[in-house]
Amino acid sequence: MNLMQFAGQAGLVLVVIWGIGSYPLYVCGGFDVVRSAVVGCLICTINGLVGGGLALWAMGKDHRTFMMVLFGGMGIRLVLVLIFFFLALKLAELHVFSLTLSLFLFYVVFQVLEIRLFIRRPSGETS
């Protein structure tokens, strides 16, 4: 699997989630809630694609490098997600609950995609 295939899977998941959830979200909460959910989705999408790219790059490396990239990258990415979360709250004045909930839900979705990336890739495969 390469980064484009991972991005394609992520795109497909996002299309399904937004296809199912955008209208009910708009009806129940209005445009501000949808806008906040989109910002949370964008933050997590960027985070997930960077994580997938780092994971794919690290898979061909030795064990020590792999673990440093995986766990160090995860920690750094989590801190960056928190920074962008607080910046979005302060600068864009978004709906707090919908931003928080969408950030949590999309973070979990992308973590599942990253785990699938590790499970589906044979241990000897490099690219």
pTM across the whole model: 0.85
Give the chain's largest Cα–Cα span: 51
- pLDDT tens-digit readout, 3-26: 888 899 999 999 999 999 889 889
Q: Which residue has the tokens 């399904």?
A: 16
Q: Is the pLDDT of residue 119 over 90?
A: no
| H helix intervals, the chain | 3-29, 31-58, 63-67, 73-92, 96-120
pLDDT value of residue 43: 95
End-to-end CA distance of the chain: 8
| Angle subtended by helix axes 31-58 and 73-92, to nearest 10 | 160
